[in-house]
Structure 1
Amino acid sequence: MKIKCIAVDDEPLALDLISKFIEQTSFLELAEKFDNAIQALGYLNSNEVDLIFLDIQMPDLSGMELARILDGKNQVRKPKIIFTTAYNQFAIEGYKVDALDYLLKPYSYEEFLKAATKAYQFYEKLETSSGENRSQDKSADYIFLKVEYQLVKVILKEITHIEAYKDYVKVYLKDKPNPLLSLTSMKNMEELLPSDTFMRIHRSFIINLDHIDSVTRNIVNIGKTQISVSDNYKEEFLKFMDKWMR
């Protein structure tokens, strides 16, 4: 498997170094290199790339600004980013744009390879899960969720409910004390989950209908958790309740 890369850095020596490191790494393919983020954005608008080695501090358009633009695009498969920077205070901002890793300048080839290997492992898991998803029918009993830097197989019947949490979702599992935190949207979760078992009853909640213990007025009880049914979703939920009580 080859990972298609671009390198973006306004410092010529830094750009030459990262390009050299990419070219001498067998599982990476250097598609192009740029000394500014605007040119890189133009290239990315018309070319598919797997991985971007991206400097943060650049004039006109910074690496972080480019990352935010790419994060906001409606793409099925967005390129992953490894930031290359002389500053370590961007960690939290990088986490928000789902950066895969950081290379703090000056870095060695050993440090570069460690970050690149993380990208290889990510795409290897993604390729494996995509193959499994293509081969399975709609009655599949599991999904894959991205949790931190790994893909986690989640058994559908173990999901009790899902809660929106900022740019993430919390996936609660039966007999597990802590939920999985996945960088995705409630809309994406609705599309992933079978509609005959999962229902959205609130802007911030999707429930597994099989795990409902009781319903009191507009409150759904799942174990010790109480979730209110909002007005926007009440009609569909009442239809389910009519069938449930027959």
Structure 2
Amino acid sequence: MTLTCIAIDDEPLALSLICRFIEQTPFLHLAASYSSAVEALKGIDTHKPDLLFLDIQMPELNGMELAKLLNKQAHAPKVIFTTAYNHFALEGYKVDAIDYLLKPFNYEEFLRAAGKARNYVSLLSDHSTPTSTAVAEEDYLFLKVEQHWVKIAFADIVYIESLKDYVKVHLAGESRPVLSLSTLKALEEKLPPRLFMRVHRSFIVSLDKITSVTKTSLQIGETSIQIGDQYKEDFKKFMSRWM
């Protein structure tokens, strides 16, 4: 798999280094480079890259603002931040950044981050492509919980709830949910749509855990969850199969 990339940095030397690193990496293709996030907007729309190498501190529109803007799109490119300031790391998680390269970084560090991006995009591609009998679909995901990556089986997930900058993953047979620094959108991309559905801006539910429904809500055990207006049509289509 080859990832189409765009590099964005207002420092000419830094931009030149990133471009050189991209060009010497076999699974990366440099579509364009920009010294301004504002200039990059049109290029992103034209080239539809898989991955951005994005500086944070830039005039007019900074990298974090650009990432938040793109994150609202249905098929936003993945982001690897490149910056001289380590205090942006937490904000990087909030926009689902793949990685965070602290300047000055070497090619080994760059390659490791690029490899993470390739693996992530490849996983998403596998999930969105019909699988043959020769390819097994994963039945789990990994969530970062504090300093660990925890394996969560799809079959154990009851529902997922958004809580500011975190998600609470409620599991069958567990009294306390798993708390992970992520967004509901990021998890929605990783979960198979045949098993899960987003029914509210703050909730994703496991479809086979639903015990009853009304026109405006659903019940999972003793938990009642409202169906958001923008999700009612999709949920109605799902329920029509059984009515």
Q: TM-score, normalised by structure 1?
A: 0.70
With over 3 angstroms needed to count, the CA separation of the structure-2 counterparts of 1:162 and 1:87, relative to structure 1, is closer
Q: TM-score, normalised by structure 2?
A: 0.70
Tell me how many residue pairs correspond in the alignment. Answer: 219
Q: Which residue of 1 aligns with 2:84?
A: 86
Matches within 5 A, 1:133-212: 134-135=130-131, 147-148=143-144, 154-156=153-155, 158-166=156-164, 169-175=167-173, 178-179=177-178, 181=180, 183-185=183-185, 192=193, 206=205, 210=209
Q: Which residue of 1 aligns with 2:33?
A: 33
Q: Within 1, Cα distance between the matches of 2:6 and 2:127?
A: 25
- Unmatched runs of 5 consecutive residues or more in structure 1: 213-217, 241-246
Q: Which residue of 2 aligns with 1:19?
A: 19
Matches within 5 A, 1:33-112: 33-73=33-73, 75=74, 77-112=75-110
> Quick one: which amino acid aligns to residue 89 of structure 1?
H
The one-character-per-residue Cα deviations of 1:59-103 (angstroms, maximum 9, x if unpaired) are: 111111111110122x2x210100110000111111111111111
Q: Within 1, Cα distance between the matches of 2:166 and 2:202?
A: 13
Q: Which residue of 2 aligns with 1:243?
A: none
> Quick one: which amino acid aligns to residue 30 of structure 1?
L
With over 3 angstroms needed to count, the CA separation of the structure-2 counterparts of 1:210 and 1:32, relative to structure 1, is closer
Query: Percent identity between the aligned chains?
Result: 43
Q: Within 1, Cα distance between the matches of 2:66 and 2:198?
A: 36
Matches within 5 A, 1:195-234: 206=205, 210=209, 222=221, 226-228=222-224
With over 3 angstroms needed to count, the CA separation of the structure-2 counterparts of 1:165 and 1:30, relative to structure 1, is same
Across the aligned residues of Structure 1 and Structure 2, the Cα RMSD in angstroms comes to 4.3
Q: Once the 2 structures are TM-superposed, how far is the Cα of residue 179 of structure 1 from its aligned partner?
A: 3.3
With over 3 angstroms needed to count, the CA separation of the structure-2 counterparts of 1:165 and 1:123, relative to structure 1, is same
Q: Within 2, Cα distance between the matches of 1:41 and 1:116?
A: 22
Q: Within 2, Cα distance between the matches of 1:11 and 1:201?
A: 42
With over 3 angstroms needed to count, the CA separation of the structure-2 counterparts of 1:153 and 1:48, relative to structure 1, is farther
> Quick one: which amino acid aligns to residue 18 of structure 1?
I
Q: Within 1, Cα distance between the matches of 2:105 and 2:227?
A: 54
Q: Within 1, Cα distance between the matches of 2:47 and 2:160?
A: 35
Q: Within 2, Cα distance between the matches of 1:203 and 1:80?
A: 22
Q: Which residue of 2 aligns with 1:244?
A: none
* Paired residues of 1:161 and 1:208 also in contact (CA < 8 A): no
Q: Within 2, Cα distance between the matches of 1:6 and 1:232?
A: 36
Q: Which residue of 2 aligns with 1:119?
A: 117
With over 3 angstroms needed to count, the CA separation of the structure-2 counterparts of 1:230 and 1:36, relative to structure 1, is closer
* Paired residues of 1:143 and 1:192 also in contact (CA < 8 A): no
- Unmatched runs of 5 consecutive residues or more in structure 2: 212-216, 230-234
Q: Rg larger in 1 or in 2?
A: 1
